[in-house]
Amino acid sequence: MPRYDFRCRSCGATFELSRPMAQANDPAACPQGHQDTVKLLSTVAVTGAASGGAPQQAASGGGCCGGGCCG
């Protein structure tokens, strides 16, 4: 269940609620009981992905002499 951050404009408290996405925009009362709250942008915790990837291997050689086209 996603969590949403709210801030109370009455007392300035910030709090977090877990609620279904369908209720994301429903009003939330602050822990102190105030109704004047705003939803904050949710902070997405992203753990750093390790930078991977195979090392590039330079394609060497080539040329056209293999097939006898240089003749």
Name the nearest CA neighbour of 17 among 39, 47, 44, 36. 39
Nearer to Zn ion, 13 or 19 (CB): 13
Q: Which residues bind Zn ion (CB under 5 A)?
A: 8, 10-11, 30, 32, 34
CB of 29 to Zn ion, least distance (A): 8
71 contacts 64 by C-beta, under 8 angstroms: no
CB atoms under 10 Å from CB of 47, counted, come to 5
Nearer to Zn ion, 34 or 39 (CB): 34
Nearer to Zn ion, 34 or 56 (CB): 34
